[in-house]
Structure 1
Amino acid sequence: MTNKILVIFLIFYFLFLSTSAQDNLLDQLREEDKTEWNTHTTTFKAIRLINGHTVETREKGNLEFLISHRFGRINSGAYQFFGMDQANMRLGLDYAWQDWLTLGIGRNSFSKLYDGFAKISLFQQNEGKIKQPVTLVWLSGASINTIRRPEIPMNLNRRLQYVHQLLAASKLYQNIALQLMPTYIHRNLVREPSAPNAFFAVGAGLSYRLSKSVYLNVEYYHRFLDQENGTANPIAIGVDIETGGHVFQLQLTNAQQMTETGFIPSTSGDFFNGDIHFGFNITRNFQLGNTRPIKK
Structure 2
Amino acid sequence: MTNHFLKLLLLLLCATAAKAQETEDLLKLVEKDNPKKEFVKYAFKSSRVINGHSMEFLAPGTMDFRILHRFGQLDQGYKNFFGLDQASMRMGFDFGLYRNLMVGVGRSTFKKELDGFIKYAPIMQAKGEGASPVTVALVAGITMNTQPWADPTINNYFSSRLGYYYQVIVGRKFSEALSLQLSPTMVHTNLVPVHTQPNDVFALGVGGRIKLTSRIALTADYYYVANGIEKGLNYNPLSVGIDIETGGHVFQLHFSNATGMNERAFITETYNTWSKGEIRFGFNLSRIFQIKKHKPSM
Name the TM tier (shorter chain).
0.7 to 0.9
1:226–1:283 Cα change, 3 Å: closer
Q: Does 1:39 align with 2:39?
A: yes
Unaligned 5+ runs, structure 2: 1-29
Q: Distance in 2 between matches of 1:274 and 1:62?
A: 39
Q: Which amino acid aligns with 2:117?
A: F
Unaligned 5+ runs, structure 1: 1-29
Q: What percentage of aligned pairs have identical amino acids?
A: 39
Per the TM alignment, residue 271 of structure 1 is displaced from its structure 2 partner at its CA by 1.1
Q: Which residue of 2 aligns with 1:175?
A: 177
- The match for 1:260 among 260, 263, 269 is 263
Q: Pairwise mapping of residues 1-296 of structure 1 onto structure 2 (< 5 A)?
A: 34-151=34-151, 153=154, 154-228=156-230, 230-291=233-294
Aligned length: 264
Per the TM alignment, residue 110 of structure 1 is displaced from its structure 2 partner at its CA by 1.1
Query: What's the TM-score once normalised by structure 1's chain length?
Result: 0.85
Q: Which amino acid aligns with 2:146?
A: T
1:122–1:274 Cα change, 3 Å: same
Check whether the contact 1:33–1:129 (CA below 8 A) recurs between aligned residues: no
Q: Distance in 2 between matches of 1:147 and 1:290?
A: 39
Report the structure number with the largest CA radius of gyration.
Answer: 2
Q: Which amino acid aligns with 1:169?
A: G
Q: Which amino acid aligns with 2:109?
A: S
Deviations 1:66-109 (A, max 9, x none): 01101110001111111111101111000122222211100111
Q: Distance in 2 between matches of 1:286 and 1:127?
A: 28
Query: What's the TM-score once normalised by structure 2's chain length?
Result: 0.84
Per the TM alignment, residue 292 of structure 1 is displaced from its structure 2 partner at its CA by 6.1
Per the TM alignment, residue 33 of structure 1 is displaced from its structure 2 partner at its CA by 6.1
SS of the equivalent of 1:77 reads helix
Per the TM alignment, residue 34 of structure 1 is displaced from its structure 2 partner at its CA by 4.0
Check whether the contact 2:255–2:279 (CA below 8 A) recurs between aligned residues: yes
Q: Distance in 1 between matches of 2:91 and 2:36?
A: 41
Per the TM alignment, residue 191 of structure 1 is displaced from its structure 2 partner at its CA by 1.8
Deviations 1:135-166 (A, max 9, x none): 11110000001112333654211111100000
Q: Distance in 1 between matches of 2:33 and 2:201?
A: 45
Q: Which amino acid aligns with 1:97?
A: L
Q: Distance in 2 between matches of 1:33 and 1:102?
A: 34
Please report the RMSD computed on the Cα atoms of aligned residues, expressed in angstroms. Answer: 1.8
Per the TM alignment, residue 226 of structure 1 is displaced from its structure 2 partner at its CA by 4.4
Q: Distance in 2 between matches of 1:38 and 1:227?
A: 43
Per the TM alignment, residue 209 of structure 1 is displaced from its structure 2 partner at its CA by 0.3
Per the TM alignment, residue 174 of structure 1 is displaced from its structure 2 partner at its CA by 1.4
Check whether the contact 1:239–1:250 (CA below 8 A) recurs between aligned residues: yes
1:74–1:292 Cα change, 3 Å: farther
Q: Distance in 2 between matches of 1:60 and 1:221?
A: 29
Q: Distance in 1 between matches of 2:182 and 2:132?
A: 16
SS of the equivalent of 2:275 reads helix
Name which of structure 1's ranges 89-98 and 173-182 shifts more when overlaid on structure 2. 89-98
Check whether the contact 2:68–2:284 (CA below 8 A) recurs between aligned residues: yes
Deviations 1:203-225 (A, max 9, x none): 00110000001010111101111
SS of the equivalent of 1:279 reads strand
Q: Distance in 1 between matches of 2:235 and 2:106?
A: 25
Q: Which residue of 2 aligns with 1:19?
A: none
Per the TM alignment, residue 39 of structure 1 is displaced from its structure 2 partner at its CA by 1.9
